[in-house]
Structure 1
Amino acid sequence: MTTENAVTSAANIKAHPLVTAQVLADYQLPADTHIKAFGNGHINKTFLLSAADKRLILQQINTSIFPSAADLVQNALKIERHLLAKQQQGLYPLQILQQQAKADGSYLAGDAQDLRALQFIDHGSSIEVVESPAQAFAAAFTFGQFAAALADFDASSLVTVLPDFHNLGMRFSQLQAAIAANKAGRLAECQPLVDFCLAQQGLVDELAALCPALPLRVCHNDTKINNMLYCAEQGRGIAAIDLDTCMPGYWLFDFGDMVRTCCSPEAEDSLDTDKVRIRPEIFKALAEGYLQGLAGVITPAEQQSLLLGAKVMCLMIGIRFLADHLNGDVYFAIKRSDHNLQRAQNQIRLYQDLIAQQPKLASYLD
């Protein structure tokens, strides 16, 4: 290495101290690899490592959220191997997010063993906001294909990395505890919203009655549109990414999260709650894309559960924001006063609009 390259490499590593010379060596990258922060995720720190003939995504797994980095890697490897086998049989058309092994065959790096590398997928980009039914269809079809390819995978073999993640009854219990404690003294200002949420507890029983009829599936659990890589030239999704929350569950939650994050024309924390609504044309595109992706695999009971999933996810995330507001904003990061209250109001507004439009929306899932 020339003196100039050595100085550049040292400066590069100094600017990104997580990516040490040893980490680069572990993944067989040269010392002059270019390092830059990558993406806009809120959980893990992510970097793009670029060398002459190789690009990797390096992530520091947030072990305050995911206590075991090894469990995340093992879950991802199991899914990866299953999808690769399907791809080799001509049964999976998408690209596959793959873990990158180190030179010694292991996967985790760094002093705390909380760094892992992923192979970079070319020719794809992320969409942050759904602008058209075509984009919504592409996302739902991609996540449907991903789920369908894993329909014959033993979901129970995955480690549940976030226990009770979609336990609506537990989320209501957390809200009731936040109401009783009223730590931040905010209960009076949002009492009408609290009362409305508590009146929706019948959804817990509805969910409990339905789930025994549903097969246990591998769920992605974070089906935002930016977790699909999109090829604008082809007008389609090319990969489902960010598999950290893949766990055993029910497809209604994945469909519900797509509805929750794709259907509103407003941002999740918009101050203009009156404009927050379910766009029926986007809901229809999501329904068509997901059902086409799951064609021949989804059961009638699962198909009937999808609208319930949309209601559950909007209500559940709204309850979580509301409880955090009452607790003094201890979980979700905020950027302004009442940020979590505004988020809660928007999620509950989506839930209310789902109920108001239920006959029309249900027809799209027939």
Structure 2
Amino acid sequence: MIDFIRQNILSHFGIDAASAKVSPLGNGHINHTFLVRGNDNEFVLQKINTDVFKTPSALVNNADKISQHLQMKAAAGEYQLQVVSPELTASDELFVDLGEQGFWRAINYLPFSHSIDVVGSEADAEMAAKAFGHFSCALTELDAELLEDVIPNFHHLPGRIELLAQAVEADSHGRLVECKLWVDFVMSQSELLQELAEVEGKLPRRICHNDTKINNMLFDKRDMTSLAIIDLDTCMKGYLMYDFGDMVRTFYSPEEEDSTALDKVLVRESIFGAICSGYLSELGAVLSEQERKSLWLGARVMCLMIGVRFLTDHLNGDVYFQIHHAGHNLERAANQFTLYQSLLSQQEVLCKFLQS
């Protein structure tokens, strides 16, 4: 793909292919991401997965609106992080659409940036949660209706379970027998669905990041302070309980989300407390009482839902998430369901952090 980029993409951004360096960047599940270094500039180049993002122009337009708003807040001294901004093409466009050869966009590269995949300390968890809270707080003045839904019903657990049921019915790759116990476990969680139905309609819709993994908050490698919130692809209207829940899901296990050491996949109480402290320090005065109460629900829903999505993709033949070996999505699903079970087992202790 790097040869294709040199021959067909770099010229759109005014880069001399002969002198540019192009290398893969990051370990995202969805898009293909590269670091481009020219003679006098460097930027991040992405090929957007249009099987996932059916309207990629909406994605880049949303990101541009958010970037402009955050830059305005930063100029007023009201946003303390660096801002991820689009790099325009040579013809001042936000993207390059080559049809079957891909939809490409570029964003600024932030020097001195560093990311981690597993939270190692309470300090890191609190810092990252505070950064995501700061990001969301800064966007409360931007009308959420200005953003398009790049993936409709992205965080909609009933819909995700329905898609799982369809995958089970089809069993198109003959994989049901190896994961039937996990399917039955998901289908037994009717009480969570009922609780969700009673709460969602009572919450305000805000601009949400919708992918608050620890590696979407960059650290400044010079002093390991928070540097920037990145990956704005899924920023849409939604409920902040899901942003909180995805932080919990991706912060509080000592294992990566595809670890098969399930005996080590568990909730770290101190990390959960640090997430609550950091997030609420920025949003505590913004959240309604109902929103604050919904955060625990969001934590449970997100753990179950991402497991459902991994399991569905496994049954469908691994068409959504990139995999590195056979059974990878099933391993991810088992990891997330184990995390969900650990969360439920510690409910009484963990909820106290949200009440304080």
The answer to whether TM tops 0.5 is yes
- 2:38 is matched with which residue? 51
The offset of 1:248, in angstroms, is: 0.7
Cα deviation, 1:277-296, whole Å, max 9, x if unaligned, reads 11111111111111112242
Cα deviation, 1:181-237, whole Å, max 9, x if unaligned, reads 334444444433322211112222211211222111111111111111102443321
- 1:3 is matched with which residue? none
- 1:262 is matched with which residue? 251
Measure the CA separation in 2 of the matches of 1:324 and 1:24: 33
- 1:108 is matched with which residue? 95
* AA of the residue aligned to 2:64: L
The offset of 1:166, in angstroms, is: 0.9
- 1:287 is matched with which residue? 276
2:13 counterpart (12, 27, 52): 27
The offset of 1:169, in angstroms, is: 0.6
1:70 counterpart (34, 54, 57): 57
The offset of 1:336, in angstroms, is: 4.0
Structure 2 CA distance for partners of 1:325 and 1:73, relative to 1, 3 Å: closer
Question: Does the Cα contact within 8 Å between 1:219 and 1:250 map onto a contact in 2?
Answer: yes
Comparing 202-211 with 311-320, greater Cα deviation is found at 202-211
1:61 counterpart (42, 45, 48): 48
The offset of 1:320, in angstroms, is: 2.1
- 1:7 is matched with which residue? none
2:147 counterpart (158, 171, 175): 158
The number of residue pairs the alignment matches comes to 352
Question: Does the Cα contact within 8 Å between 1:142 and 1:228 map onto a contact in 2?
Answer: yes
- 1:86 is matched with which residue? 73
Question: Does the Cα contact within 8 Å between 1:58 and 1:118 map onto a contact in 2?
Answer: yes
1:127 counterpart (101, 111, 116): 116
Question: Does the Cα contact within 8 Å between 1:138 and 1:235 map onto a contact in 2?
Answer: no
- 1:352 is matched with which residue? 341
Within a 5 Å distance, the mapping from 1:128-207 to structure 2 comes to: 128-207=117-196
The offset of 1:175, in angstroms, is: 2.1
Structure 2 CA distance for partners of 1:110 and 1:135, relative to 1, 3 Å: same
The offset of 1:70, in angstroms, is: 1.6
Measure the CA separation in 2 of the matches of 1:95 and 1:298: 24
Structure 2 CA distance for partners of 1:181 and 1:248, relative to 1, 3 Å: same
Measure the CA separation in 1 of the matches of 2:9 and 2:177: 52
Q: TM-score, normalised by structure 2?
A: 0.92
Structure 2 CA distance for partners of 1:334 and 1:122, relative to 1, 3 Å: closer
The offset of 1:77, in angstroms, is: 0.9
**Is 1:41–2:16 an aligned residue pair?**
no
Point out where structure 2 has 5 or more consecutive residues left out of the alignment: none
Structure 2 CA distance for partners of 1:256 and 1:179, relative to 1, 3 Å: same
Please report the RMSD computed on the Cα atoms of aligned residues, expressed in angstroms: 2.1
Question: Does the Cα contact within 8 Å between 1:172 and 1:201 map onto a contact in 2?
Answer: no
Measure the CA separation in 2 of the matches of 1:143 and 1:319: 25
Structure 2 CA distance for partners of 1:18 and 1:28, relative to 1, 3 Å: closer
Structure 2 CA distance for partners of 1:243 and 1:48, relative to 1, 3 Å: same
* AA of the residue aligned to 2:228: A
The offset of 1:110, in angstroms, is: 5.7
2:211 counterpart (222, 229, 233): 222
Question: Does the Cα contact within 8 Å between 1:140 and 1:293 map onto a contact in 2?
Answer: no
**Is 1:271–2:260 an aligned residue pair?**
yes
Measure the CA separation in 2 of the matches of 1:344 and 1:333: 14
Measure the CA separation in 2 of the matches of 1:49 and 1:188: 45
Point out where structure 1 has 5 or more consecutive residues left out of the alignment: 1-13
The offset of 1:15, in angstroms, is: 4.9
Helix, strand or coil at the partner of 1:18: helix
Structure 2 CA distance for partners of 1:120 and 1:361, relative to 1, 3 Å: same
Q: Percent identity?
A: 47
Measure the CA separation in 2 of the matches of 1:338 and 1:42: 15
Measure the CA separation in 2 of the matches of 1:15 and 1:193: 39
Cα deviation, 1:315-335, whole Å, max 9, x if unaligned, reads 111122233334444443444
- 1:298 is matched with which residue? 287
Helix, strand or coil at the partner of 1:364: helix
Q: TM-score, normalised by structure 1?
A: 0.89
- 2:220 is matched with which residue? 231
Structure 2 CA distance for partners of 1:260 and 1:104, relative to 1, 3 Å: same
Helix, strand or coil at the partner of 2:30: coil
**Is 1:332–2:321 an aligned residue pair?**
yes
Question: Does the Cα contact within 8 Å between 2:244 and 2:295 map onto a contact in 1?
Answer: yes
Question: Does the Cα contact within 8 Å between 2:112 and 2:221 map onto a contact in 1?
Answer: no
Larger Rg computed on CA atoms: 1
Measure the CA separation in 2 of the matches of 1:246 and 1:356: 31
Measure the CA separation in 2 of the matches of 1:45 and 1:327: 21
The offset of 1:358, in angstroms, is: 0.7
Measure the CA separation in 2 of the matches of 1:133 and 1:66: 34
Measure the CA separation in 2 of the matches of 1:352 and 1:69: 36
Structure 2 CA distance for partners of 1:181 and 1:145, relative to 1, 3 Å: same
Helix, strand or coil at the partner of 2:192: helix
Measure the CA separation in 1 of the matches of 2:68 and 2:36: 24
